[in-house]
Amino acid sequence: MKNSIPQSQFKNPVINWIDTRLPIFSVANEAVGTEHPTPKNLNYWWNFGSLAGVTLVIMIITGIALAMNYTAHVDHAFDSVERIMRDVNGGWLIRYIHMNGASFFFIVVYIHMARSLYYGSYKAPRELLWILGVVIYLLMMATAFLGYTLPWGQMSFWGATVITNFFSVIPFVGEPIVNWLLGGYTVDNPTLNRFYALHYLLPFVIAGVILLHIVALHRFGSNNPLGIDIKNDKDMIPFHPYYTIKDFFGLSVFLAIFCVFVFFVPNILGHPDNYVPADSMSTPAHIVPEWYLSPFYAILRAVPDKLLGVLAMFGAIGILFILPWLDRSPVRSAHYRPMYRIFYIVFIINMLALGYLGVQNAEGIYIILGRTCTAWYFIHFLIIMPLLNIIETPKALPKSISDPIFSSGAGGMSPATSRSKK
């Protein structure tokens, strides 16, 4: 008996022929096409997830191009980067895209995380979606740090020295771990080779975790600004063409801003010391990480004890994993949580302050401010968020996305309905 060939939904004969044998177009359509139902009230803050994906693709493509011309050796790494900038056709453009792309990747992800915090996208049943996002964030930090060392400038060398020495505070096994990471007793050629290999590998690991992130997203669908579950088909619209248009508009704005940085101020987000060849005999006056790691560097420096400082820094990231269980409020969106909204704004200001303090000299008033902001960071998650679950009285929620609340009671009527009953 002849096996029947399943029929594809596509009219194009070529696409139809491929899809009946390899249903990649059907899968894509279900993921981001007309077959993917989406809450109809998503705003532009939901653009940043797709922007993060596009930025990762840009980083991988430019990274592969740079790897073809880079020499992972302490005697040649700095010169190979200069050769890329001066002699390789379009090398300066590729490097500037890659270098600024790292900063923009973090900007997009930080906004994406801030949106999730505001609208409660980490709450049940999306806990694992949030956890996978934090894993992606950790991998990004590791990848960015490894890439920062590759130009082998002064800040690259001393940044690698400082960061790897963090592991020396681990009791009993700290020193062997540091020696294993470095491939010796100091930051040298084995260190650079290991960092280069890991920096090349980790973006593909990030891509794999992103696929899991997307699968988890499609399990329960996107959250929405109201923070309420979808009730019926009237609450949904197809992802394509409505949100693809939004995403393309957001991407256009993003690329325009990105090009301004690449072509006009390519070095504004970097450090001038990295244009000086690495010298183990000359320590920079002020060793700082890249700006997107500075909040956690400020937390590290805020604690006088080295071991406790390292624990505080890693704890500041680790606390994000348990966030869904710290905030037990049944209401997701801060739109209906007036007290949470106030503390959320304070938290964002506090994070910006930590980012600023992380690139300043640890002296005078900066020490006091750093400790204050660090304390508030942990207070926000460990005390304020659980406390709000008890003392906060949220506003009434609408019945559905299609019937937003306008009156004081739960499930209030729309103005049009109110007028018709008068």
- 222 catalytic? Reply is yes
In angstroms, rounded to a whole number, what is the distance separating the alpha carbons of residues 353 and 370? Answer: 8
Q: What is the rounded distance in angstroms from the CA atom of residue 344 to the CA atom of residue 348?
A: 6
41's CB contacts (< 8 A; 6+ apart) are 224, 225, 226, 401
Q: Which of 19, 235, 247, 327 is catalytic?
A: 247
CB 99 within 8 A of CB 266: yes
Supply 160's token pair.
Answer: 């690698």
Q: Give a three-class secondary structure readout of 117-158.
A: HHHCCCCCCCHHHHHHHHHHHHHHHHHHHHHHHCCCEHHHHH
- With CA atoms as reference, report the closest residue to 187 among 272, 277, 283, 74: 74
Active-site pick, 19, 273, 290, 327: 290
Q: Is 227 left (phi over 0), alpha (psi -120 to 50) or beta?
A: left
Do residues 280 and 186 make contact, with C-beta atoms less than 8 angstroms apart? yes
Considering 222, 235, 271, 273, which one is annotated as catalytic?
222
Query: Rounded distance, CA 12 to CA 21, Å?
Result: 14
The closest of 147, 183, 141 to 67, measured between CA atoms, is: 147
Residue with structure tokens 């957001």?
A: 250
Residue 102 to residue 262: CA distance in whole angstroms: 12
Burial class (CB in 10 A: 0-12, 13-18, 19+), 420: exposed
Query: Pick from 336, 10, 2, 335: which is nearest to 18 by CA?
Result: 10
CB 84 within 8 A of CB 66: yes
User: Does the annotation count 395 as an active-site position?
Assistant: no
Catalytic residue among 40, 240, 246, 399: 246
Position 113, amino acid: M
Contact 315, 296 (CB under 8 A): no
173 phi and psi angles, rounded to 5 deg: -110, 5
Helix runs in 265-391, H state only? 294-302, 306-318, 323-326, 338-357, 365-379, 385-391
Computed from CA positions of residues 229, 230, 232, 234, in that sequence, does the dihedral angle turn out positive or negative? positive
Give the chain's radius of gyration (CA, Å): 25
Q: Which of 73, 218, 240, 399 is catalytic?
A: 218
Q: Which residues does the annotation mark as catalytic?
A: 218, 222, 246-247, 290
